């Protein structure tokens, strides 16, 4: 009997001990889980600030230019990503953009939202208006302040390179440059307006997206202008661009353009592609010669030295020229090579007493081994000027600029995609900047694209959460497990 009671006491003591240790273990596990859940909620609230960017180039960290300008904003800015955020976080490209957008959202005047246009019919038209809505598509970005908007195409967030004509890859990220430039544009009181002419079978600016993306980053607004439908050039026009028209200006159009240039201080870029019809552009040349001492020739420039030809084109009219370090390119002490395709030559007229207020010079020229052949079969050998620029400082006290290019092909999207050429695009961009610099520079354009470094370590939000799980759940679980094992062994002692 006594033995029985003793055994019951031992079992009771053991049960109480097991219950006590078991309860403690359960409470400890529950406490760890509660701490993990609460900490995770806190991390979620401050995920943007706690996300680490350990890339060498700080790919996902905004810099001082952006920080300064966003803090100085006096107007509210809305950035709308035209896609669903949750679904897009699994997309590598969009996830990179989202990381940067999260930082913009930290500023008081900036609101970032994600809206899927497929599930919101009429959304884009409501945000940007019916006229501009057609240019947007799913994946693009809208930057908006008041009634002013700027579109950023999804592909514009990155710089792409082509390897051996077939493989296309991302070489750099330029999200910050595009976003900050767009914000400064929509919040600016004054900005240059660039008009691209239509009505003469010009090429569409849609064929030159690389060029016009760069012009937009200068803070310019770009619009189309049908010269056949107007009587005066719009007052807000800062620059008019002719992209390879097939027909000359009519007499009335020429008078309108000349008046705008001479009396209003307008500026112009004229690009005349080579064509078999032989358009002489007599009215355009009359304006160019009178005001700028320039004219476009009716010929085709070719290279006679095989070393200067572009082998992939296998024709004499595709060759390498060089820039001239003057005017728009004065900042380049050393000329750089530039690829030329089916170009006309440009005449730079010598100065005389009637045009002493004009300063003109070559912008792009060939090697000494080139030649030009006009439509009458006349051949001129030697260095050929294929692009030129001019400044007239005597037009009613106003400084006005003009540039003439003998071809558009070198800076078209088609040739860029085929050859990965940027020098022609750079030349065109600097020419525009030279003309509109009086409006002040858009500081966003000073932000350089950040080149990917494959050796860098990136810790994004998902990886941060994984580290949190390991440190706050897995490690404590191992500790608890070790404690349980120790307890199991000690209970038999």
Determine the pLDDT at residue 108: 94
- For residue 370, pLDDT over 80 is answered with yes
For the record, the structure tokens of 480 come out as: 């608890």
Determine the pLDDT at residue 14: 58
The span from the CA of 407 to the CA of 398, in Å, is 29
Determine the pLDDT at residue 464: 63
Q: What is the pLDDT of residues 134-166, one digit of tens each?
A: 778 899 999 999 888 888 888 889 887 766 556
In the DSSP assignment, the letter for residue 473 is: I
- For residue 220, pLDDT over 60 is answered with yes
Angle between helices 2-45 and 461-469 (to 10 degrees): 160
Which carries the bigger pLDDT value, residue 288 or residue 155?
288
Contacts of 47 (CB under 8 A, 6+ apart): 102, 461, 464
User: CA angle at residue 394 from 392 to 398, to 5 degrees?
Assistant: 80
The span from the CA of 61 to the CA of 447, in Å, is 12
Q: Sheet harboring 148-152: ordered strands across?
A: 110-114, 77-81, 141-145, 148-152
- For residue 222, pLDDT over 70 is answered with yes
End-to-end CA distance of the chain: 26
Please report which confidence band the pLDDT of residue 353 belongs to, taking 50, 70 and 90 as the band edges. very low
> Cβ-count burial of 169 within 10 angstroms (0-12 exposed, 13-18 middle, 19+ buried)?
exposed
Q: Of 3.30.70, 2.10.260, 3.30.1330, 3.40.50, which CATH number belongs to 191-451?
A: 3.40.50
Q: Sheet harboring 318-323: ordered strands across?
A: 221-226, 193-198, 237-243, 268-271, 398-405, 385-395, 358-365, 318-323, 337-341
Q: What is the pLDDT of residues 85-139, one digit of tens each?
A: 999 999 989 999 999 999 999 999 999 999 999 888 888 888 888 767 777 889 9
Distances (CA, A) of 76 to 114, 127, 140, 220, 327: 17, 15, 20, 20, 38
Determine the pLDDT at residue 422: 78
DSSP reduced 3-state for 169: strand
Distances (CA, A) of 273 to 208, 267, 306: 14, 20, 23
- For residue 476, pLDDT over 80 is answered with no
Determine the pLDDT at residue 456: 45
What is the chain's mean pLDDT, rounded? 83
Determine the pLDDT at residue 181: 86
Please report which confidence band the pLDDT of residue 215 belongs to, taking 50, 70 and 90 as the band edges. confident
- Range with the poorest average pLDDT among 30-39, 64-73, 154-163, 229-238: 30-39
Determine the pLDDT at residue 312: 79
Angle between helices 423-436 and 209-217 (to 10 degrees): 40
Extents of the domains making up the chain: 2-51+461-490, 56-189, 191-451
Determine the pLDDT at residue 48: 47
Q: How many CB atoms lie within 10 A of CB 5?
A: 9
Please report which confidence band the pLDDT of residue 331 belongs to, taking 50, 70 and 90 as the band edges. confident
Q: What is the pLDDT of residues 439-474, one digit of tens each?
A: 656 677 678 888 887 554 555 556 666 666 666 666
Phi/psi for 361 (5° steps) reads -165, 160
- Topology of the domain covering 56-189: Glutaredoxin (3.40.30)
User: CA angle at residue 43 from 42 to 49, to 5 degrees?
Assistant: 115
In this prediction, residues 401-426 reach a mean pLDDT of 87
Count CA atoms within 13 Å of residue 397 on its CB side.
Answer: 0
Determine the pLDDT at residue 43: 52
Q: What is the pLDDT of residues 46-90, one digit of tens each?
A: 554 445 665 666 777 888 999 999 999 999 999 999 999 999 999
For the record, the structure tokens of 57 come out as: 């180039």
The span from the CA of 178 to the CA of 146, in Å, is 19
In this prediction, residues 249-269 reach a mean pLDDT of 94
- For residue 491, pLDDT over 70 is answered with no
The span from the CA of 81 to the CA of 175, in Å, is 13
The span from the CA of 387 to the CA of 278, in Å, is 19
Determine the pLDDT at residue 159: 80
Which carries the bigger pLDDT value, residue 488 or residue 74?
74
Q: What is the pLDDT of residues 299-318, one digit of tens each?
A: 999 999 999 998 877 899 99
Determine the pLDDT at residue 282: 96
- For residue 480, pLDDT over 60 is answered with yes
Q: How many CB atoms lie within 10 A of CB 258?
A: 18
The span from the CA of 297 to the CA of 81, in Å, is 47
């Amino acid at each position: 009997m006594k033995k029985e009671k003793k055994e019951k006491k031992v079992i009771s003591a053991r049960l109480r001990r097991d219950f006590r240790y078991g309860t403690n273990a359960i409470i400890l596990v529950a406490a760890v889980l509660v701490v993990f859940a609460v900490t995770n909620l806190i991390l979620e609230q401050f995920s943007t600030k706690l996300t680490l960017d350990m890339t060498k180039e700080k790919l996902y960290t905004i810099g001082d230019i952006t920080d300064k300008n966003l803090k100085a904003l006096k107007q509210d800015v809305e950035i709308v990503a035209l896609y669903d955020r949750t679904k897009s976080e699994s997309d590598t490209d969009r996830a990179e953009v989202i990381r940067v957008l999260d930082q913009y959202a930290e500023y008081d005047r900036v609101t970032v939202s994600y809206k899927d246009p497929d599930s919101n019919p009429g959304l884009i038209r409501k945000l940007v208006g019916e006229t501009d809505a057609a240019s947007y598509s799913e994946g693009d970005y809208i930057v908006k302040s008041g009634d002013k908007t700027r579109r950023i195409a999804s592909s514009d967030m990155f710089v792409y390179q082509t390897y051996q004509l077939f493989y296309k890859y991302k070489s750099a990220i330029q999200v910050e440059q595009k976003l900050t430039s767009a914000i400064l544009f929509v919040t600016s009181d004054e900005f240059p307006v660039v008009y691209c002419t239509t009505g003469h079978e010009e090429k569409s600016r849609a064929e030159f997206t690389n060029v016009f993306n760069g012009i937009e980053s200068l803070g310019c607004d770009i619009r189309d202008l049908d010269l056949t439908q107007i009587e005066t050039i719009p007052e807000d026009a800062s620059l008019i661009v002719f992209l390879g028209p097939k027909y000359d200006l009519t007499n009335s159009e020429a008078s309108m353009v000349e008046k705008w240039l001479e009396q209003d201080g307008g500026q112009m870029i004229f690009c005349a592609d080579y064509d078999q019809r032989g358009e002489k552009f007599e009215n355009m040349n009359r304006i160019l010669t009178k005001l700028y001492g320039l004219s476009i020739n009716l010929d085709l420039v070719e290279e006679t030295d095989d070393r200067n030809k572009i082998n992939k084109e296998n024709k004499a009219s595709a060759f390498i020229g060089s820039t001239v370090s003057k005017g728009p390119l004065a900042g380049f002490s050393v000329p750089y090579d530039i690829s030329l395709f089916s170009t006309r030559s440009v005449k730079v007229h010598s100065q005389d007493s009637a045009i002493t207020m004009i300063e003109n010079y070559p912008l792009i020229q060939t090697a000494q081994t080139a030649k030009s052949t006009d439509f009458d079969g006349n051949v001129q050998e030697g260095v050929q000027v294929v692009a030129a620029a001019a400044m007239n400082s005597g037009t009613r006290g106003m400084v006005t600029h003009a540039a003439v290019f003998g071809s558009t092909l070198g800076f078209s999207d088609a040739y860029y995609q085929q050859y990965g050429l940027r020098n022609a695009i750079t030349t065109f961009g600097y020419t525009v900047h030279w003309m509109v610099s009086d409006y002040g520079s858009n500081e966003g354009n000073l932000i350089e694209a950040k080149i990917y470094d494959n050796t860098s370590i990136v810790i994004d939000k998902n990886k941060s959460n994984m580290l949190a799980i390991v440190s706050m759940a897995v490690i404590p679980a191992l500790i608890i497990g070790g404690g349980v094992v120790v307890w199991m062994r000690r209970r038999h002692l």
